[in-house]
Amino acid sequence: MTTERQSIHGQWSSRWTFILAATGAAVGLGNIWKFPYLTGEHGGSAFVLVYILCVAALGIPMMMAEVMLGRRGRETPVNTMRHLAKEIHTSPHWQLVGWAGTVAGVLILSYYSVIGGWTLAYILYSGVGTFSGASGEAVSNLFGKFVGNPIGLLAWHTAFMIITMFVVARGVKSGLEKAVQWLMPALFVLLLVLVGYAMTTGFFLKGLAFLFTPDFSRLSGSGMLAAMGQAFFSLSLGMGTIMIYGSYLPKGISIAQTSVSIAVVDTLVALMAGIAIFPIVFANGLEPGAGPSLIFETIPVAFGNMAGGTLFGTLFFVLLLIAAWTSSISLIEPAVTLLIEKYGMTRLHAAFWSGLITWALGLGTVFSFNIWSESTLFGLNFFELLDYLTSNLMLPLGGIFIAVFAGWLMTKETSKSELSMKGEVGYKIWQILIRYVAPVAVLIVLCNAIGLL
């Protein structure tokens, strides 16, 4: 029977391990800069409240659906969707949802690895004192020279892909599980250390005020759309990573409770990152920015001009590396398992070939910052085009189809049995959210992303 199917790739040893793994998949570079920045720009705790509501109404039901599909199918997203479609006697074309998520993961990792390589380089720069006493102009020039050097970027991109595929090649138990059991606690320890350091800056309260002072006058419609989009993207939904991780989840573990735990921990990491970062930024009279400029230009100046900045700046970039690393291993896992299931490869060979293809695609992103910077399509360079295609189109569409499949096509008996929710009320609430609220919300996210709103 389908309910007795077991993954050939192994399973997590416990509920807590799955929470660590899924949180690792969700926590990435975006959590460290984007969520705190959005919070500060859109009304502090007013934005946080809206975000939490979006997580509750959109993120958690969607995560429950993905985990449920993964555990029900026990295979890679492609085969899971194909078998579950067959089980409920609907079109086999639903496997395209699995294909889209798997391809999106590879495309995202191809450029995510390049940025992950930046964190490796900046650990070295910070560790040897490159930023000590450096001005904003000096750090900005260093960043410009760094990304303008294709050979250097290629080397760091290659190094990051190697450490990613090293973990993935070792399998679920020896690779993914051991990695998250060490890396995620290390991430929390580093966050706590950096929060403690931020408390010594004299600007800790200003940082807290920037993040948490409620100002509903600044919470515009665009802020609410930002909260909705962040609730979806922050939990790594729509790309197959949660589905494949769900396929390793042992039977009998509550999907609802686990999904709530992941959402809470993911939000906690993002808030702690803001608490750590912004007092340091304000202590140096710098303006909080967004994106790579904050992480790779503003933050190095801040640490470089503070007592103990070399040590704590290095720890900060180690934190970034861990966040990027735990996300990257989840992004490639669906592709690796697909090669194993479809072509009978060993995990080592599947990891090698999927990693090689992803690495090769990453060359386009490497060159987007230098020799191909003037080459554009629709006004976007290679990196920007991949980012737009995956984040704005593939992931939201995948999320909508997953919600429709889980909420409308799967039978009540199947979904209720797999979710194992206590009581009828909880299941009814999930069913309403996944049928009506989540698809509409993700559709709004999609329309906003492509400029229709």
In this predicted structure, the answer to whether residue 17 has a pLDDT above a threshold of 60 is: yes
In this predicted structure, the answer to whether residue 47 has a pLDDT above a threshold of 70 is: yes
Please state the φ and ψ torsions of residue 377, each to the nearest 5 degrees: -135, 125
Average pLDDT score over the chain: 92
pLDDT of residue 349: 97
Contact predicate 295/28, CB 8 Å = no
The dihedral through the CA atoms of 74, 80, 82, 85 has a sign that is: positive
Q: What is the mean pLDDT of residues 12-18?
A: 94
Q: DSSP secondary structure string, 388-431?
A: IIIIIIIHHHHHHHHHHIIIIIS-HHHHHHHHT-SSHHHHHHHH
Contacts 24+ apart (CB under 8 A), 129-136: 129/310, 131/300, 131/301, 131/303, 131/304, 131/309, 131/310, 131/313, 132/304, 132/309, 132/310, 133/304, 133/305, 134/300, 134/301, 134/304, 134/305, 135/301, 136/286, 136/297, 136/298, 136/301
In this predicted structure, the answer to whether residue 291 has a pLDDT above a threshold of 60 is: no
Q: DSSP alpha helices (H): ranges in 91-240?
A: 95-127, 136-147, 150-169, 171, 178-198, 204-212, 221-233
Q: What is the mean pLDDT of residues 246-257?
A: 93
Q: DSSP alpha helices (H): ranges in 199-308?
A: 204-212, 221-233, 241-246, 255-283, 292-293, 299-304
Which of 47, 44, 69 minimizes the C-alpha distance to 401?
Answer: 69
Residues in CB range of 197: below 8 A, 6 or more apart: 276, 280, 308, 312
Contact predicate 84/276, CB 8 Å = no
First to last CA, the chain: 46
Q: Is 0.85 surpassed by the pTM of this model? A: yes
Task: Provide the β-strand partners of residue 380.
Answer: 377
Packing angle, helices 178-198 and 309-343, rounded to 10: 160
Residue 167: pLDDT band (50, 70, 90) is very high
Higher pLDDT, 39 or 401: 401
Residues in CB range of 166: below 8 A, 6 or more apart: 175
Residue 237: pLDDT band (50, 70, 90) is very high
Residue 123: count of CB within 10 angstroms of its CB: 19
Which of 144, 83, 113 minimizes the C-alpha distance to 414?
Answer: 83
Q: What is the mean pLDDT of residues 429-433?
A: 96
In this predicted structure, the answer to whether residue 3 has a pLDDT above a threshold of 80 is: no
Using one digit for the tens of pLDDT, what is the confidence trace for 364-378?
999 999 999 999 888
Q: How far apart are CA 329 and CA 109, in angstroms?
A: 9
Domains and CATH numbers, the chain: 2-449 (1.20.1740)
Using one digit for the tens of pLDDT, what is the confidence trace for 97-149?
999 999 999 999 999 999 999 999 999 999 999 999 999 899 999 999 999 99
Q: What is the mean pLDDT of residues 82-93?
A: 96
Residue 222: count of CB within 10 angstroms of its CB: 12
Q: What is the mean pLDDT of residues 424-443?
A: 95
Residue 29: pLDDT band (50, 70, 90) is confident
In this predicted structure, the answer to whether residue 272 has a pLDDT above a threshold of 60 is: yes
Using one digit for the tens of pLDDT, what is the confidence trace for 178-197?
999 999 999 999 999 999 99
In this predicted structure, the answer to whether residue 4 has a pLDDT above a threshold of 70 is: no
pLDDT of residue 2: 44
Contact predicate 328/168, CB 8 Å = no
Q: How far apart are CA 56 and CA 232, in angstroms?
A: 11
